[in-house]
Chain A
Amino acid sequence: MSRSEILERYVGIARAAGTHVEFITADDLPGRLAPILLELTESRNPAPMDNPEPRLAALPASGWPQGLQESVGIILAASGYETIMPREMPGGYAWDRDRLARASIGITWCAEFLADTGSLVLPAGPGMGTLAALLPEVHLALSYAEGCRTGLADYLRERGNTLPRRLTLVTGPSRTGDIEATMTTGVHGPRKVLHFILDGVDPETPHADG
């Protein structure tokens, strides 16, 4: 499969799993992120959840490509959001867990994602803050198209079958069918997962050549 075919496969499978995949440019980020942040504070639909801090966003401290974390921070501040990150302390990082648990959105960098299963790959590590992708109501992952891999087997092979201390695959929102087999999202983790791919063109959108 060519790179663009692999990406197309990712988009199809991830969307079927309930991830909202969007192709934007880095320049579009403020224009696309601001309405999402606004919607979270205003039209809280469905009814407000348990977090009393709607204008709080959680971000990992490490793992970002040059400058992106700062850009996201500026957009958040402009939308009236406060940012919480793992704090750097002597000997490592620490979360303020009680505040983190009340954040309404978590924004994370996702270096790699898997086409075969439509999954985001979240490795753990100092400052990698994977809880930002778990505790808030909404998780927004940002990637470059080049981060797309065929599947878990390829991902592992590339690393010589060695693993980070903890690796999480995220495919769509947190969901349950435990009451009357009615599919409901957001039972423990995010009720919504968004994935912005910051370059490349949406393979599912028809477009003119050239």
Chain B
Amino acid sequence: MQINDRPHDFRKASVSAVADKVLGAAVRKTADIFVSMRAASIAQLAGFEDLRDWGRSRKLEVSGRLEEYALEFANRIEAAGAIVHFAHDAAEAAAIATDIAVKRGAHTAVKSKSMTAEEISLNEALMQAGVTVTETDLGEYIIQLAGEKPSHIIAPAIHKDRNQVAQLFHRFLGTPPGLDVDSLVRAARKTLRDRFLAAEIGITGANFAVAETGTLVLVTNEGNGRMTTTLPPVQIAILGIDKIIPKISDLPGFLTLLTRSATGQTISSYVTIITGPRKPGEEEGPEELHVVLLDNGRSLLARGPFREILHCLHCGACLNQCPVYRAVGGHAYESVYTGPMGDVLSPLLWGMKAYPDLPDACTLCGRCAEACPVRIPLPEYHRKLRILRAEGQTQWAAGASAAIAANPLLCRTSLGLLRQILAHHEGLLNGRTEGALGAWTTCRELPRPGAGPGFRTWWRNRERGSL
């Protein structure tokens, strides 16, 4: 989901985000909790670094043969009774899911949090087709009521405090004003329980899809994943082909990498491992299971220089560590994918024209790469994207300075001249906000050359031993 049609302006969006002190404090508080829980959880587990290497190697195996694995997964889960749909792009995936709902004559759907469904703007497509979609992850439900976007991948409504949530529930659910957190959670339980029981469609993503067995794996703490895949008569699972892991024996290792990196939990409250729709004689589960396998550029990415971005487990560990994300929060990215992995993935999925400056939302500090459970080289990818963006652009300033530097006489003369000018006209460059140098001087002071001899003279004298 690219939110705007116009190119995204991260600098502009981050100015208002930084000014929002409530957002900033909430994002940093949440990130700090996740960071310390992750650290504690990893410290008590021997061999986590080896597990990260293993995770990367298994993901390299998949991204090296992405289409083959997608086919194997599709064949297996079809053999288990599911109906598989391949979607080339976002529009096709949304159309497939909408078509399923319309053909069933469905009007209500419950949804368990799915980034891939966000990527294809599924809610909007279903609403247009007359299907009411209720988000059932509590955080997602809160921001759905508020008409806002997630500020954190794991804790989407963290920018709203309890009073704001109480007001929303008062307005939309008719609860008394000023409820405490516990009562708010119970009010949500009551409302969403009714939605689960009435829903005609359950929409999910998948945290993993096992090729060998044709199995979908969902990880939740609230239990909404279990409800969504047990109560409605139809389940539609939407997943990118990058979610595939080769074998069921890979699952325990990936679960450990995911939950310890995301929240520091040994495991999430619920892991739901689904291999096909309800079987004859069973009293639970959907009669129909549709699996929408989304490419949307992934098979192309797998063959290019950013292949490992497909390895992302969506754990959020890189967000929590990132100094830029911690300063601005999720909204400023104006994309479903935020933080370091979003800086890389958004321009790759929607084009550099749509997200021209997200590769700059990075200080190259490397903390994201340190935290990534599958060792995606995120800082390196930021740098590569900047290089790609620069290629083909007219670099007149760089070209001119290269020409000057290549000619010693010209270089000496121009630098000396510049020194003289700056020494006598201090205000010439500083304080300017317009023009080619404006980006530099709006936030920096160019120091006035000192009274000393200048570097070149100083160097010459030093060579002569007269320092």
Contact = CB atoms under 8 A, between A and B. Distances in A.
Interface stretch (A20-28, A74-82, A94-102, A194-202): A94-102
Given A125-B282, A130-B230, A171-B266, A181 B30 contact: yes
The residue among A13, A95, A182, A188 with the most chain B CB atoms within 10 A of its own CB is A188
B139 interface: yes
A168 B226 contact: yes
A92 B284 CA distance: 11
Given A131-B230, A178-B138, A184-B181, A169 B267 contact: yes
B88 to A, nearest CB: 30
Nearest to A86: B283
Interface string A23-39: 00000000000000000
Contacts of B285: 124, 165-166
Nearest to B276: A165
B434 interface: no
Given A49-B190, A184-B181, A163 B230 contact: no
Nearest to A174: B223
B321 interface: no
B230 A17 contact: no
Contact of B197 (A97, A117, A172): A97
The residue among A98, A131, A170, A176 with the most chain B CB atoms within 10 A of its own CB is A176
Contacts of A116: 266
Given A165-B279, A171-B266, A178 B186 contact: no
Contacts of B247: 161
B101 interface: no
Contacts, number: 198
A130 B278 CA distance: 13
Interface stretch (B248-256, B342-350, B359-367, B403-411): B248-256
Nearest to B161: A180
A176 B181 CA distance: 11
Nearest to B183: A47
A170 B273 CA distance: 11
Nearest to B29: A181
Interface in A78-137: 86, 91-95, 97-98, 101, 116-119, 124-131, 134-135
A68 interface: no
Contacts of A124: 282, 284-285
Contact of B281 (A92, A169, A171): A92
A120 to B, nearest CB: 10
Given A151-B252, A169-B271, A178-B156, A49 B161 contact: no
A: interface residue count bin: 35 or more
Contacts of A97: 197, 231
Interface string B261-288: 0000111111111111011111111000
B231 to A, nearest CB: 7
B270 A126 contact: no
Given A92-B280, A184-B185, A134 B226 contact: yes
Contact of B248 (A46, A127, A163, A172): A163
Contacts of A126: 279, 281-283
Nearest to A14: B266
Contacts of A40: none
B: interface residue count bin: 35 or more
A175 B197 contact: no
B197 A98 contact: yes
Contacts of A46: 182, 186
A130 B33 CA distance: 33
B221 A175 contact: yes
A175 B282 contact: no
A59 to B, nearest CB: 13
A168 B165 CA distance: 31
Given A188-B136, A188-B227, A174 B283 contact: no
Contacts of B193: 50, 101, 135, 188
Given A49-B186, A184-B181, 10 more contacts: A16-B266, A17-B265, A47-B186, A50-B186, A126-B283, A156-B252, A169-B271, A169-B273, A182-B162, A188-B223
Interface of B: 26, 29-30, 33, 80, 136-139, 142, 155-158, 160-162, 165, 181-186, 188-190, 192-193, 196-197, 212-213, 215, 221-224, 226-227, 229-231, 247-249, 251-252, 255, 265-276, 278-285
Interface of A: 13, 16-17, 46-47, 49-50, 86, 91-95, 97-98, 101, 116-119, 124-131, 134-135, 151-153, 156-157, 161-182, 184, 186-189
10 contacts: A49-B186, A98-B197, A118-B266, A124-B284, A127-B283, A161-B212, A163-B213, A176-B222, A178-B155, A189-B269
